[in-house]
Amino acid sequence: MQITTTFRHMESSDALKDIVQDKVSKLKTYIQGHFEAAVVLSAERHLHECDMTISTQWGQTYKGKEKHEDVYAAITKVMDKIERQAEKDKGRMRAHRSAHVDSVE
């Protein structure tokens, strides 16, 4: 798992990097194998934006973007979106695999 955190128009913070790493590491339950995360945190007037892209070694890409007044809330909302995408994809792959096994027998 490789995480790249970029800050735009705001000061970089180890606390924010740690929060992002903790949130992204929870994706291991949905994603098998190695994956890379690119996180861009930016500030624009009174809103904070979190833009996240997760790329897996199997070719799946999960994306999310959120704006909120609180940067921590923006990170949490983006992670909720990406978790839903990964969970849906995992279910789809599980259904495909079981259909394939049933057709072989």
A 10 A CB-CB count for 91 gives 11
pLDDT band at residue 100 under the 50/70/90 scheme: low
Domain that holds residue 69: 2-104
Specify the higher pLDDT residue, 89 or 100: 89
**Mean pLDDT across the stretch 79-92?**
87
Give the pLDDT score at 93. Answer: 65
**Mean pLDDT across the stretch 80-99?**
78
Greatest Cα pair distance, the chain, in angstroms, is 60
Can you give the pTM of this predicted structure?
0.84
Q: Quickly tell me which residue has 């995360």 as its tokens.
A: 37
Assign residue 56 the CATH number of its domain. 3.30.160.100
For the chain, the domain total comes to 1
pLDDT in tens, 44-82: 989 999 999 999 998 899 999 999 999 999 999 999 999
Phi, psi dihedral angles at 52 (to 5 degrees) = -130, 140
Query: Rounded distance, CA 29 to CA 59, Å?
Result: 17
